[in-house]
DNA sequence: ACAGTATTTATCCAACGGGTTAATTTCTCC
DNA sequence: GGAGAAATTAACCCGTTGGATAAATACTGT
């Protein structure tokens, strides 16, 4: 596949059996490189903005290869999307929330979500793109629908345990809770470009990110447990009487 | 501009002065119709997916008109974006949060934000699109940057009053707070298509929307005031001991 | 070693899309 | 009532892009 030609031994023992190959077969590797390149391209430019030729070039391949190994632009896009969901849900399964103290489990879910979004900005872009298309492609996927009920049950169990132990004062709907947790990170990061412009401050520098994580954890845990002061990232207020002030 | 021809009086008193005009002049109206059509098109298809010809058709105009009255595709897009920010910030100024009890002010801001996003789905799409472009266009705008500091100050004042009155237990950063409030509504609505698919339930039916608003208000106000049980939309739990359960 | 198949390259093309040019029509003001 | 400006229409240009076709090259089993 690589355009650079190279030498190889045709068979051991043949003295002058070296040949210059124009390309090498590697269907699996090619497919992976195509999907990776497509992920980059679709997340960077959206569905309509993505260019099939750029994907091919980035994959070190020929445009024809995309159609050969995956399919047309839409099928390629759906494959990328399914892969993205698969990856995050699979990492989430490793969180092991069942064996944590409920408040700790929620905190861990928040931190994981935040860090996952930070580490995988293409995931955010892909979801944005797909939502702009009103999930037209995702609806065709059979795989994706099934991966989410275990995840919801995991959260439901944590909430129930928290209520039973007295840590949580309310038994919120796990879907609402997860949507809220995802929302707090997702919106901040996916909209950081416009937010940084309108509020005139860089929301992605280290300090801002640390503050955001503290704010989100504080908000959710304070709401669940009813202990605002303990949970919000705080600092002694210089002039407000008795209340605490969140950093900046 | 309308393709349908019609009759008109050339001048009063001329008996047979009726003429069939092929089109009528209306520069201001044309500009408005172009911007409205462009808003629809850009929000429905994104920047790259939007079609200049479709915008023209929807505006009852000719493609050439867009360039004549507004500019090229990018300038058209920026004009739409600026108009969108202008509209929401202008409506927010009418909220009059200064004269409300602090918890009531926050609740009102949450409800306004939620309802505004519900009433103006194109606003959400436009922001998503612009963020996918990393705010490339918005950065060129001088108008937009200035409209936001009064808004932040408005929230800052509410928070300060809430802390001083003892209603709020923490003085959160107003920017963080607003981002969180916007996030809870924005993500739910802008991602409702994919979320509905993966969680297998319609997040936009009436019941779901009511529950969402209750959840968001409860979450934020509980965190600020520390009174979870009072503020979350609740229902007596059938089997959990003493705790309250959010509907569904 | 070689026939048959899998994989990759090299071109081609028709449709599309943003933008431009030039001609046409309406309006305004004297 | 007519000249010049403003607004609008109609037709065209040309690079881009997704997709297709055909030929070339590498690998596999026998």
What is the pLDDT at residue B129?
95
Q: Which of A91-95, A173-177, B241-245 has the lowest mean pLDDT?
A: B241-245
CATH number of domain containing B40: 1.10.10.60
- Evaluate whether residue B180 is within a structural domain: yes
Residues of B in contact with A205 (CB under 8 A): none
Which residues lie across from B170 on neighbouring strands?
A: A244
User: Which chain A residues touch B240 with a CB distance below 8 Å?
Assistant: 160, 163-164, 171
pLDDT at B240 over 50: no
Query: Nearest Cα to B82, choosing from B37, B140, B29?
Result: B140
Return mean pLDDT, chain A.
85
C-alpha torsion B190→B192→B198→B203, nearest 10: 160
The answer to whether residue B11 sits within a structural domain is: no
Q: Specify whether B59 is located in the same domain as B115.
A: no
| Within-domain flag for B57 | yes
List pLDDT tens digits, range A10-23.
Answer: 333 333 334 567 77
- Mark whether A113 and A209 lie in a shared domain: yes
Residue B134 has pLDDT above 80, yes or no: yes
Pairing assessment for the beta strands A170-171 and B244-246 based on DSSP bridges? parallel
Contact B208/A at CB under 8 A: no
User: Residue A157 and residue A244: Cα distance in Å, rounded?
Assistant: 33
The DSSP result for A5-68, as a single string, is -EEE-SSTT-TT--EEES----HHHHHHHHHHHHHHHHHHHHHHH--HHHHHHHTTS-HHHHHH
B201: chain A residues, CB-CB within 8 Å = 175
Task: Tell if A63 CB is < 7 Å from nucleic strand D.
Answer: yes
- For residue B58, give its domain range: 24-71
Q: Tell me what the pLDDT averaged over chain B comes to.
A: 86
pLDDT of residue A202: 97
pLDDT over 70 at A71, yes or no: yes
A78 found inside a domain: no
More confident residue, A240 or B139: B139
Percent of chain B with pLDDT over 90: 73
Average pLDDT rounded to a whole number, residues A159-174: 94
Q: Select from B14, B36, B71 the last residue of a domain.
A: B71
From chain B residues 89-118, the ones with a CB under 8 A of any chain A CB are none
Separation in Å, CA of A26 to nearest CA in chain B:
33
To 5 degrees, how large is the angle CA B136–CA B40–CA B34?
Answer: 90
Please, are residues B208 and B202 in contact by the beta-carbon 8 Å criterion?
yes
Could B138 and A193 be called an inter-chain contact, meaning their C-beta atoms sit closer than 8 Å? yes
| Other CB atoms within 10 Å distance of the CB of residue A29 | 13
Query: B74-124, pLDDT tens digit by residue?
Result: 999 999 999 999 999 999 999 999 999 999 999 999 999 999 999 999 999
Name the band, by pLDDT with cuts 50, 70 and 90, for residue A76: very high
Position B142 confidence tier, pLDDT thresholds 50, 70, 90 = confident
Checking phi first, is residue A242 left (phi over 0); if not, alpha (psi -120 to 50) or beta? left
ipTM here = 0.86
A48 CB inside 7 Å of strand C: no
Q: Residue A7 falls within a domain, yes or no?
A: no
pLDDT score of A212: 97
Confidence of residue B220 (pLDDT cuts 50, 70, 90): very high
Q: Which residue has the tokens 């612009």?
A: B130
Determine what percent of chain A is predicted with pLDDT higher than 70: 83
- Same domain as B158, residue B119: yes
Q: Which two tokens stand for residue B244?
A: 């309250």
A193 and A241 both lie in a single domain: yes
Model confidence at B8: pLDDT above 80: no
Whether residues B131 and B154 fall in one domain: yes
Residues B156 and B134 in one domain: yes
Residue where one domain finishes, among candidates B40, B71, B102? B71
In a domain, A79, yes or no: no
Distance of A52 CA from C5 C1′ (whole Å) = 27
Residue B191 has its nearest CB partner, among A127, A147, A168, at A127
B236 and B149 within one domain: yes
Residue B90 domain-assigned?
Answer: yes
CATH number at residue A183: 1.10.357.10
Compute the average pLDDT of residues B39-54. 96
Cα–Cα distance list, A176 to A155, B209, B213 (Å): 11, 11, 10
Tell me B99's DSSP state: G
* Same-domain status, A93 and A48: no
Euclidean distance between CA atoms A217 and A227, whole angstroms: 12
Q: What is the pLDDT of residues B169-209, one digit of tens each?
A: 989 999 999 999 999 999 999 999 999 999 999 999 999 99
pLDDT at A233 over 60: no
What is the C-alpha separation between A173 and A194, in angstroms, rounded? 31
pLDDT at position B235: 41
Task: Examine the domain organization and report whether A115 and A236 are in the same domain.
Answer: yes
Residue B3: which pLDDT band, with cuts at 50, 70 and 90?
very low
Residues 157-176 (B) near nucleic chain D, CB < 7 A? none
| Domain-located, residue B5 | no
Q: Are residues A140 and A57 in the same domain?
A: no
Same domain, A43 and A92: no
Q: Are residues A28 and A110 in the same domain?
A: no
What's the total number of domains in chain B? 2
């Amino acid at each position: 596949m690589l355009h650079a030609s190279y030498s190889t031994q045709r068979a051991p023992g043949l003295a002058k059996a070296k040949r210059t190959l124009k390309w090498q077969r590697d269907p699996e590797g090619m497919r992976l490189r195509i999907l990776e390149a497509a992920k980059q391209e679709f997340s960077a430019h959206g569905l309509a903005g993505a260019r099939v030729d750029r994907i091919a070039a980035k994959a070190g391949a020929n445009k024809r290869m995309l159609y050969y190994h995956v399919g047309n632009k839409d099928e390629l896009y759906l494959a990328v999307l399914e892969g993205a969901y698969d990856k995050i849900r699979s990492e989430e399964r490793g969180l092991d929330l069942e064996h944590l103290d409920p408040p700790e489990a929620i905190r861990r879910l928040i931190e994981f979500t935040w860090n996952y979004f930070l580490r995988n900005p293409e995931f955010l872009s892909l979801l944005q793109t797909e939502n702009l298309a009103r999930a037209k492609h995702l609806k065709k996927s059979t795989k994706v629908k099934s991966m989410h009920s275990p995840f919801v049950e995991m959260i439901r169990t944590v909430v129930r345990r928290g209520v039973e132990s007295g840590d949580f004062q309310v038994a919120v709907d796990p879907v609402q809770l997860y949507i809220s947790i995802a929302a707090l990170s997702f919106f901040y990061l996916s909209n950081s470009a416009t937010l940084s412009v309108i509020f005139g401050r860089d929301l992605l520098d280290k300090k801002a990110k640390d503050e955001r994580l503290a704010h989100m954890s504080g908000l959710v845990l304070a709401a669940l447990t009813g202990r605002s002061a303990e949970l919000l990232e705080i600092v002694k207020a210089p002039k407000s009487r008795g209340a605490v002030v969140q950093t900046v």
